[in-house]
């Protein structure tokens, strides 16, 4: 008899999970993978679109390309989740799962920052990245502010990356001399768990003449005067405001019994929720790790092992280790790398490898490997 595994969300977490279990135990599971979108894109591809390095058509991977034993993809919007009965309702159908995995990621609350919708551009959604691309193309020089608007956000390295890519973009267009760039981030350091990595990144920002305001949050924008009001009372005029919006869990999750304080609590070793046979992975959880694709992928691989062990009556799987790698773009095709371990006992680790063209190549390969693994046929 096969178990019906229903996976909500086909992002980093959902795709890795489905691949892992389909590869290992195709005869034991029937997997329904549900996403409201028809295609997947890597988070960092939004930066490629925003800085005009790739066309929109080059960054989407269509789910219809998924070719895995026992996996059926359904393009539907999840409208209700009952974790007690493991029943999921979508705009099209109702699903009863033996095992339910929630991997619905994080949404954005643009309205939480007054003035952002009117006078700034959030670049964390695909539509926002396209608007940011157009705003950058129309920019004639002046003040650019990159502002992180909430206490936590996807990809801790992304604000530094964005500021450096703005620097590179403006230099290429001959506008750097006539522009200033400010990076305002509520986090006390670029990568708070490592002083050395943070110092290395701050030094790179300084080399590029980027004004860095750590521990500060833009509370609101004044659309009439184009001024960002910082929560410590400072004011920052801008000609272009690029914002990382406040994050929140998708509405359907918040409305379910799964959410506590807005996110899904999980056992950080296995990603089990408090409901039997219901798991949650990735950005939608309140696990004590940052929101990042590499992290969601590691969590998904852990849940795959948990489910494989459960369905094959095998020994207990190894708990999640909190290890992930993350690339940082610096422009001019230079990429650095941060290797983290958030659960390394008492002392989380983040090691920075200086930028190089070789790491840029490595990042491209990292991306293609995932596209092949998640969208191609099972090869093992």
Residues contributing to the site for ligand FAD (CB under 6 A): 9-14, 34-37, 43-44, 46-47, 77-78, 103-105, 124, 154-155, 158, 250, 252, 282-284, 291-294, 296, 326-327
Q: What's the CA gap between 101 and 280, in Å, rounded?
A: 5
Which two three-digit tokens encode residue 239? 């000609």
**How many other CB atoms sit within 10 Å of the CB of residue 233?**
7
For residues 294 and 317, which CB has a smaller minimum distance to ligand FAD in the complex?
Answer: 294
Of 335, 309, 316, 337, the C-alpha closest to 325 is 337
For residues 12 and 238, which CB has a smaller minimum distance to ligand FAD in the complex?
Answer: 12
Tell me the closest approach of the beta carbon of residue 43 to ligand FAD, in angstroms. 2
Tell me the closest approach of the beta carbon of residue 263 to ligand FAD, in angstroms. 11
Backbone angles phi, psi at 338, to 5 degrees: -120, 120
For residues 17 and 170, which CB has a smaller minimum distance to ligand FAD in the complex?
Answer: 17
User: In degrees, to the nearest 5, what angle opens at C-alpha 296 toward C-alphas 293 and 297?
Assistant: 85
Residue with CB nearest ligand FAD?
Answer: 11
User: In degrees, to the nearest 5, what angle opens at C-alpha 337 toward C-alphas 332 and 343?
Assistant: 155
Which two three-digit tokens encode residue 53? 């390095």
For residues 226 and 337, which CB has a smaller minimum distance to ligand FAD in the complex?
Answer: 337
- SS3 string, 54-83, reads CCHHHHCEEHHHCCCCCEEEEECCEEEEEC
Q: What's the residue count for the chain?
A: 380
How much of the chain is helix, strand and coil, in % rounded to 5? 30, 30, 40
Tell me the closest approach of the beta carbon of residue 218 to ligand FAD, in angstroms. 18
Tell me the closest approach of the beta carbon of residue 337 to ligand FAD, in angstroms. 10
Q: What's the CA gap between 211 and 163, in Å, rounded?
A: 10
Tell me the closest approach of the beta carbon of residue 313 to ligand FAD, in angstroms. 28
Within 231-348, strands assigned E span 235-237, 240-244, 246-248, 278-280, 323-331, 334-341
Tell me the closest approach of the beta carbon of residue 10 to ligand FAD, in angstroms. 5
For residues 107 and 119, which CB has a smaller minimum distance to ligand FAD in the complex?
Answer: 107
Tell me the closest approach of the beta carbon of residue 107 to ligand FAD, in angstroms. 7
Instruction: Write out the H or E segment, with its range, that includes residue 251.
Output: helix 251-254
For residues 189 and 284, which CB has a smaller minimum distance to ligand FAD in the complex?
Answer: 284
For residues 34 and 307, which CB has a smaller minimum distance to ligand FAD in the complex?
Answer: 34
Residue written as tokens 């659960």?
343
């Amino acid at each position: 008899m096969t178990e019906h595994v229903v996976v909500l969300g086909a992002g980093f977490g959902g795709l890795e999970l489905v691949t892992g279990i389909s590869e290992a135990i195709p005869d034991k599971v029937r997997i329904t993978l549900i996403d409201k979108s028809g295609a997947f894109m890597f988070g960092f591809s939004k930066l490629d679109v925003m800085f005009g390095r790739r066309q929109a058509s080059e960054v989407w991977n269509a789910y219809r390309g998924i070719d895995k034993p026992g996996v059926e993809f359904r393009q539907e919007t999840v409208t209700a989740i009952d974790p007690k009965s493991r029943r999921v309702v979508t705009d099209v159908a109702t699903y009863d799962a033996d095992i339910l995995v929630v991997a619905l990621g994080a949404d954005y609350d643009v309205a939480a920052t007054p003035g952002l919708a009117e006078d700034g551009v959030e670049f964390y959604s695909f539509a926002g990245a396209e608007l940011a691309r157009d705003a950058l193309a129309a920019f004639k020089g002046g003040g650019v502010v990159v502002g992180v608007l909430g206490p936590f956000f996807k990809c801790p390295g992304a604000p530094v990356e964005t500021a450096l890519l703005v620097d590179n973009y403006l230099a290429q267009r001959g506008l750097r001399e006539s522009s200033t760039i400010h990076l305002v981030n509520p986090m006390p350091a670029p990568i708070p768990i490592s002083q050395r990595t943070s110092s290395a990144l701050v030094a790179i920002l300084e080399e590029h003449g980027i004004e860095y305001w750590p521990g500060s949050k833009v509370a609101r924008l004044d659309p009439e005067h184009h001024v960002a009001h910082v929560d410590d009372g400072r004011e920052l005029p801008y000609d272009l405001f690029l914002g990382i919006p406040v994050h929140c869990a998708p509405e359907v999750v918040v409305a379910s019994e799964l959410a506590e304080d807005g996110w899904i609590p999980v056992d950080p070793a296995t990603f089990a929720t408090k409901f039997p046979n219901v798991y949650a992975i990735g950005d939608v959880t309140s696990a004590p790790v940052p929101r990042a694709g590499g992290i969601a992928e590691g969590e998904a691989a852990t849940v795959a092992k948990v489910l494989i062990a459960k369905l094959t009556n095998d020994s207990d799987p190894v708990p999640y280790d909190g290890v992930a790698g993350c690339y940082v773009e610096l422009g001019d095709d230079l990429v650095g790398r941060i290797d983290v371990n958030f659960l390394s006992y008492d002392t989380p680790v983040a090691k920075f490898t200086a930028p190089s063209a070789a790491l840029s190549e490595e990042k491209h390969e990292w991306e293609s490997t995932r596209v092949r693994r998640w969208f191609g046929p099972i090869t093992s």
